[in-house]
Amino acid sequence: MKEFLTKIMEENIGKIKENEPMSNHTTIKIGGPAEIFIEPSSIENLQKTMEYIHQYQMKWRAIGRGSNLLVSDKGIEGVVIKLGAGLNQLEIKGTEVKVGGGYSLVSLATSISRQGLSGLEFAGGIPGSVGGAVYMNAGAHGSDISRILTQALILFDDGKLEWLTNEEMEFSYRTSVLQKKRPGIVVEAIFQLKKGNREIIIAEIQKNKEYRKVTQPWNYPCAGSIFRNPLPNYAGKLVEESGLKGYSIGNAQISEMHGNFIINAGHATAEDVLALIDFVKKSIDEKFGVKMETEVEIIGRK
């Protein structure tokens, strides 16, 4: 660990911190310390970071804007790589958009709407990064990333970069090959969009943003949707029909606004959230015979 840290600091690859609280980097404001926290300043420095991780056989984890993430109170062993300002490049050529993995998805949807480009309206209000959205095939309002992505540049844990096609990404509901088979970091994404009416596109994005504001508790720290929809059912509806809206364990509470959101009502711990998740799973299984699966990613020390 010390040798790795010494080497990585010599390389001047970006921001490096030890024992950085992950509660500072998750939208639910929960999470113990990352042993080593690195925010590379460029794609080259990200690749260099991964080469050293591979060389020293360090455990690693990449994050973007920290939504859809629940980090253990005991923190994360090894290295956490944050895709931030060094990986937020944007290039628009006609109807093709090439964008860095650290770019805000909401900001991207807003920027391209002003260019009269259609295809990302569904992302209005999704509070994640482009990399995270591709990684988990984020979606809403009947569409998702798989509908518009043509290629993604992935950094694998051996330090090699590789472009994967839409087909090679093996997208399915809220998942991709990066979760199932080949762990990697989304460095860049290429989206194929369509020319449309600028005013209509902007209005659609605004409508989706407003819908989130009035139906989801973004005024509290939260991680986004906790459960995958067990189609044809909807997770939030099942929670509501179970009478669990507002139910709390410790300072973790099921939102009064939306049954598929757990809010941090004040200094909640990951342990509180996990206990609440287990309680919901058991309650819905007993009442409806439906097995609930988490959409939020749970990471860190057990």
Residues with catalytic function: 174, 225, 295
Q: Identify the three-state secondary structure at position 132.
A: helix
For the chain, the straight-line distance linking the first and the last C-alpha, in angstroms and rounded, comes to: 20
Tokens, residue 48: 């260099």
What span, in angstroms and rounded, lies between the C-alpha atoms of 53 and 247?
42
**DSSP secondary structure string for all residues of 228-297:** ---TTS-HHHHHHHTT-TT-EETTEEE-SS-TT-EEE-SS--HHHHHHHHHHHHHHHHHHH-----B-SE
CA max distance for the chain:
58
